[in-house]
Amino acid sequence: MNFDDIKVGDAITEGKHPVGKYQPHYYAGASLDFNPIHIDPDFGKMVGLGGNILHGLCTLAFAAKTCVDYAGGDPASLKRLKARFSKPVKPLETVIVSGNVVAKDGDTATAEFGASTNKGENQVLTNGIAEFRKI
């Protein structure tokens, strides 16, 4: 999509991101965050999480990908991204990101978004804001 085609009220195409069994391990390697809550299911159970959980920033990266894809696929189009981490994501869940464009002013457009798992049962990102810029 071209920036000029973005309009207030547009829905961001729903992004579905399956979380594989080993996704927390892959992200741990990339981020160097080997906290046992992410890579050890037994430790995650011991601390009350019901198993290991995905890194929050990996969940946010899924949201960023959905927003960038909506805006045409160039990461440079994403000016700002923020969200509240409301619940953890577990391996073998699917992160579903959706939102709407709420403002457009000159060379900047703003969308609100959220993310859930398992068809909306578990809100994992709330109060999301993505700002796009014309490039």
DSSP-derived letter for residue 8 is T
Other CB atoms closer than 10 Å to residue 100's CB: what's the count?
Answer: 12
Question: What whole-number distance in Å separates Cα of residue 22 and Cα of residue 110?
Answer: 33
Other CB atoms closer than 10 Å to residue 125's CB: what's the count?
Answer: 23
- Fold of the CATH domain 3-133: Thiol Ester Dehydrase; Chain A (3.10.129)
pLDDT tens digits, 15-29: 999 999 999 999 999
Position 12 scores a pLDDT of 94
Position 119 scores a pLDDT of 64
pLDDT tens digits, 88-129: 999 999 999 999 999 999 999 999 999 999 866 789 999 999
Q: Which stretches of the chain are assigned E, i.e. beta strand?
A: 11-18, 78-85, 94-105, 108-117, 122-133
Rounded to two decimals, the pTM is: 0.93
